[in-house]
Structure 1
Amino acid sequence: MARPKADLPPAEAVRALVDASGQLAVRVTPGARVEALELSQGRLLAKVRAKPEDGKANAAVRDLLAAALGLAPSRVDLLRGATSREKLFRVA
């Protein structure tokens, strides 16, 4: 059985959260039942199925952000928060 598509907000809404220097703050919930990006109180919340081991959850969040923004995953870099739920990404 194929996995359902991730629930993503409009790309314009996600781009609005990127600051002038191209940074995007994200709060992550690893090990979730579904993959989704949510906008809540002006913050971006990411839910990914991957477990937080060996960088798998970080890679899943990067891929989810890239899909939401319509970019290649190589254009989204993790700047800070490799072991934290609060992460900071650079969007190129």
Structure 2
Amino acid sequence: MDKARADLPLVAGGDDPMWPSVPFAEQLAQRWRSAATSVGLITRHDVGHRPCFSGESPGSASPRFQHGGTPEADALLETAAWPCVLDALRNSG
């Protein structure tokens, strides 16, 4: 990872009860920045474990796992993050 030079968009929700998404994304972003690699960190405190992106439909509720967040918050994060994801894909090749 430390030798990669690709732009990296990181997307994380702060209401993720499955694992600490935002702290892990922040750690990864710092590691990439220290390797002089461009990284974008896009987060929202009210998004859970499964943010959706353009063209995806929200997953159904799990009887076993708590995913946190709300569909409305997921949509707001997608609106903020999707342009960054597209830019990274355009610039990757």
Which has the larger Rg? 2
Higher relative contact order (CA 8 A, sep 6+): 2
**Between Structure 1 and Structure 2, which shows a larger proportion of strand residues?**
1
Same fold, judged at TM 0.5 (above): no
**Between Structure 1 and Structure 2, which shows a larger proportion of helix residues?**
2
